[in-house]
Structure 1
Amino acid sequence: MTNNRAAVLWTGGKDCALAFFKAQQAGYTITHLITFAPKNPNFKAHPIHLIKKQVKAIGIPHLLLTVTAPIKESYENTIQQLKKLYKIDTLVTGDIDEVDGHTNWIEECSLKSGMKVYNPLWKKERIYILNELITNDFTVIFSLVKKEDLTSDWIGRTLDKTAINDLKKKLNIDICGENGEYHTMVLNAPFFKHKIVVNKVDFIENDKYYYLKTIL
């Protein structure tokens, strides 16, 4: 158990939300949500307007922090500021595995400042992660899918047991979407004060993706 002041790196998707929950269970005091973003972000998989709804439902401060080139130096300096200005001791990530063979990016960028990093999902079995979401009553919808992997009817679909079984049938994808096959947004979680209601779901497409267009 720990009483460290922690911030969760927040995209609004299933992995960061489950990491938030696991960090709470481990005894961390979560003081902030942190979203690293480029200048003028236009997130297709994780719409900012939905993230703002999540922040309201969770009820803790959210920092949208701009990173610029050189990227690693920008991350390092920003993390150092989080430690200094906000007295944050630990960053919580929803990272599951290496991406393209690289080690954990946030851990690398936290070495300079001495910031601690908690990765509760790291190297966990993919099916364990998905089942934890179901068991703990998270409400998760698919917000973006890669056209070569999934069809447009996945947009807005709830991540439930049927969806997990359908993902298992697709042999060439990572069932947690770790290779960019899909992204998600969380509409409810054990730490939400209220559920986010999406009244209408529609999708937009480009050459590679179908992604969520919501009217709340």
Structure 2
Amino acid sequence: MRTVLSWSGGKDAAYALAEMRRADSVTVKGLLTTVAADTGRSSMHGVRRELYERQAAALDLPIEFVELPTEPTNEAYERVMAAAIESYATRGIDRIAFADLLLDDVRAYREARLSDTDLDGYWPLWGRDTTTLAADFVERFAATVVSVDGDLFDRSFAGRAFDAEFLADLPEVVDPCGENGEFHTFVWDGPIFEDGMQVRTGETVTRAVGDGEFHYCELVTG
């Protein structure tokens, strides 16, 4: 099955890619990422387009970007995503994979958006235990925490390695994989890479997100 992976650059997407590359029935043809048109960054991760491009090169996969307007409405998001899906269908892609683990409403939304298209949805990690997955991930991959929910974390958590120590320090209410959006990561080494990336942390800033705030740590390559 010719598959495109919805790509965040983070741990769950990286783990999903590893699982798909081990499956004989899956051919991963590329990555799809959304960024803000005005900043060139992903909205929740805060990661720059340039880093995604370098990450994709290290993964030896093409990456395509869907640019979103500033503070897009749901209708605007659905419109640009529908155009991307239609484009993939015309190029012979069979399905789009998502790294969701357990949120039924998120999966139902994605299924509804694909229901009238020629692409199927695919969830290679669905139903996995998040504690087990997180523990396995830190044994095999290297990632940096790039954003954290300010209602749950102080600024010091942004920029930390996503490792066993980070998992041990998580508040009890936080899912080990951040499945509820509590934190986000950027993966820069592991078994899916042809060659690992070199990244270092920069400035941490705090920005309003909805009714709360997130702490974002800038990542710099090299």
- The two structures have a TM-score, normalised by structure 2, of 0.84
Write the distance in 2 (CA, Å) between the matches of 1:33 and 1:148. Answer: 31
The partner residue of 1:22 within 19, 23, 27 is: 19
SS of the residue corresponding to residue 116 of structure 2 reads coil
Q: What's the CA shift string for 1:50-78, capped at 9, x where partnerless?
A: 21220121122111123573433443342
SS at match of 1:109: helix
Q: Which residue of 2 aligns with 1:81?
A: 87
Residue 4 (structure 2) aligns with: 7
Among residues 123, 126, 132, which one is paired with 1:119 in the alignment? 123
Which 10-residue stretch deviates more, 8-17 or 37-46?
37-46
Asked whether the equivalents of residues 205 and 211 of structure 1 are also in contact (C-alpha less than 8 Å), the reply is: yes
DSSP-derived class of the 2:34 partner? strand
* C-alpha distance 200-36 of structure 1, shift in aligned 2 (>3 A): closer
- Rounded to whole Å, the distance in 1 between the matches of 2:124 and 2:106 is 18
Moved more, 19-28 or 39-48: 39-48
Write the distance in 2 (CA, Å) between the matches of 1:179 and 1:200: 24
Structure 1 residue corresponding to 2:148, chosen from 133, 145, 149: 145
TM-score when normalising by structure 1: 0.86
- Aligned partners of 1:11, 1:172: CA distance in 2, in Å? 23
5+ residue gaps, structure 2: 70-74
Q: What is the CA RMSD across the aligned residues, in angstroms?
A: 2.1
Question: Structure 1 pair 179/199, CA: closer, same or farther in 2 (3 Å)?
Answer: closer
How many corresponding residue pairs? 208
Q: After superposition, where does 1:192-203 map in structure 2 within 5 Å?
A: 192-203=193-204
> C-alpha displacement at 1:107, in angstroms?
2.2
Which runs of 5 or more structure 1 residues have no equivalent in the other structure?
none
Is residue 76–residue 112 contact of structure 1 (8 Å, CA) maintained in 2? no
Map of 1:17-166 to 2, 5 A cutoff? 17-27=14-24, 28-40=26-38, 41-43=40-42, 45=45, 46-66=47-67, 69-85=75-91, 87-98=92-103, 101-135=105-139, 137-166=140-169
Deviation at 1:97, TM superposition (A): 2.4
CA distance in 1, matches of 2:32, 2:106: 22
Percent of aligned pairs sharing the same letter: 22
Which has the larger displacement, 35-44 or 172-181?
Answer: 35-44
